Structure 1
Amino acid sequence: MLPETSPPGPASSAAMARRSRSSPSRRRRGNAYPLWFHLPAAIVFGTLFLVPTLASLFFSLTRWTLFSYAFIGLDNFRQFFREPFLFQGITNTLIYAAVTSGLKVVLGLLLGLLLTAPIFGRDLLRAIVFFPVLVSTIGVGIAFSVMMHPTRGLINVGLSLFGLQGPAWLTDPDLALLSVALVDVWKGVGLATVIYIAGLVSIPRDYHEAAKIDGAGPFDRFRHITLPLIRPATATVIILSFIGGLRSFDLIWAMTSGGPGFTSDVIASVIYKQYQAGFYGLSTAGNVVLFLLVALLVVPLSLYLNRREVEA
């Protein structure tokens, strides 16, 4: 027979409870090795984002050159907000971001639906749609500025063959900003299309087949199945396109340089003109203002879209 063991007394039970409570903390203290794998990412983040951001905040409060600086407080920000065409630049920036992001969402979704359908040459069409994303932005701007010439441009010459009078795309103050926005959409819609294709192909076919059995038509399936299930893709396209529109500079500068006059100036081009004039501290303060504007607009938008996604 096995010897009988007496139940543990109060003292031994308390000791076992203390060991069970202390062992996880010891394991956590002794298991710090995985935290070292965060070090490379932390170094990259600090070097490429945190340090430049803090340096920009500091130099925005100074009057600086490459060899010296003088602390002047908030004078750069006061002067920046006294710029005569700043309000127009902010307005143009918001219009540009809204137009480009809206068109990329709509066209990207339509192209995504087309390029996930069983059509002939689908892979070739996908490559054609995505190709402009790979082309240099400056190259696209120069090419379209030539094509949009009011008299000798390829676009207006082609319209004249059909008896149509082409507009002055880049020299008309009412059309310059929208013309650049259309080129931006042409160049960036390929990325939106790829995001939508990824969202569309992830939808299980069982949902559509069950809806067909229940008698749902194509529009009903699109409205009640496709649109809700690609909401994460839509949120991604909206946020990325909106950020790109708010920060846009290179395409606008290559095509219009903010003209004619100041009608296509955006915040980034206003900042660049200040930098060209040698007001480095003022342009740095403008960059801080642009960063804050992007954060104030994009963070609430992202929270709203993500909240809608969770509620759905």
Structure 2
Amino acid sequence: MTKIFKRTYSYAFLIPAAIVYLLIFIFPTVMSFFFSLTRWDLTTWQFIGLDNFKMFFKEASLLIGFKNTFIYAFVTCVLKVVIGLLLGVLLTSKIRAKGYLRSVIFFPTLLSTIAVGLTFSMLMHPSQGMINAALNVIGITGPDWLGDTRIALLSVAFVDVWKGVGFAMVIYIAGILSIPQDYYEALQIDGGGSFRKFWNIIVPLSRPATNSVIILSFIGGLRSFDLVWAMTKGGPGFTTDLIASIIYKQYQGGYYGLATAGNVILFLFVTALALPLYSYLNRKEVDL
């Protein structure tokens, strides 16, 4: 009896976390799959099988939503990796006030996404926004950042990068600081310069940090909704509509079962892209 108690004693500490995980994640996920097969409101439901999924795939803007979601995720992911790495290198070098600069760059990560979206929607106003006013001072006519169908999605993506690059920077700083000094000393003896230090040491040895930033940024981009909705509500037209914003519009229209089916599809879509990417990055990391 004592041996059994000793074996199970440590697992008892996991029970509170397991209960919370079950109630907050597992149970809602299972219920989402169930209600995606029903026509429901807040009080009643009716089982209708796969009809919601058939209707969702007939959505007029669905293909645009999938394309925009992938473009948005790809652009934000690439920029966060590149800019985050460069900032990480800069802010681990011997420059003054690097602690202050780290705080300034990381600060937007702490801000409300809705507040950031509303603020930038005003800053990017074509005639009254401060961005175009600043461009006019130097003789440049600024575009309609959120009203031009050619650049609206990229404009929102750049705001996303501004807000989230600080988190990528912190991950890279941790990765760069964990690199043993022996590598730098060997390179110095070999006569290598700053570029070789960056390309031959920092880039390959900070790959675990890069993998983390890629996974988090890409999944975050695929699931993004609040910033896009705060800035454009999917417009102009369907130019900035993402899968999540299409689903939200269905909730607004009272099509709860249809929207729940959309959430299930979004979950499967993100999983289908994220798992192979995660496996590939892990395999490359092991090969290194």
TM-score, length basis structure 1: 0.90
**Residue 150 (structure 2) aligned to one of 171, 174, 198:** 174
Unaligned runs of 5+ in 1: 1-25
SS at match of 1:82: coil
Match for residue 294 of structure 1? 270
Which is greater in Rg? 1
Amino acid at match of 2:39: R
**Mapping of residues 205-284 of structure 1, within 5 Å:** 205-284=181-260
Q: How far apart are the structure 1 equivalents of 2:73 and 2:142?
A: 25
Aligned length: 288
SS at match of 2:82: helix
Q: How far apart are the structure 1 equivalents of 2:8 and 2:31?
A: 32
Match for residue 114 of structure 1? 90
Q: How far apart are the structure 1 equivalents of 2:92 and 2:30?
A: 45
Deviation at 1:212, TM superposition (A): 0.8
Give yes or no for the alignment of 1:75 onto 2:51: yes
Give yes or no for the alignment of 1:305 onto 2:281: yes
Unaligned runs of 5+ in 2: none
Name the stretch that deviates more: 210-219 or 239-248.
Answer: 210-219
**Residue 162 (structure 2) aligned to one of 164, 186, 202:** 186
**Residue 84 (structure 1) aligned to one of 60, 69, 77:** 60
Give yes or no for the alignment of 1:44 onto 2:9: no
Give yes or no for the alignment of 1:57 onto 2:36: no
Q: How far apart are the structure 2 equivalents of 1:306 and 1:246?
A: 20
CA-atom RMSD, angstroms?
Answer: 1.3
Match for residue 34 of structure 1? 10
Q: How far apart are the structure 2 equivalents of 1:28 and 1:234?
A: 43
Give yes or no for the alignment of 1:150 onto 2:126: yes
SS at match of 2:13: helix
SS at match of 2:210: helix
TM-score, length basis structure 2: 0.98
SS at match of 1:70: strand
1:187-207 alpha-carbon deviations (Å, 9 max, x no partner)? 000000000000011111121
1:7-27 alpha-carbon deviations (Å, 9 max, x no partner)? xxxxxxxxxxxxxxxxxxx95
Q: How far apart are the structure 2 equivalents of 1:28 and 1:214?
A: 59
SS at match of 2:46: strand
Q: How far apart are the structure 1 equivalents of 2:158 and 2:137?
A: 22
Deviation at 1:217, TM superposition (A): 2.2
Amino acid at match of 2:125: H
Deviation at 1:221, TM superposition (A): 2.1
Match for residue 162 of structure 1? 138
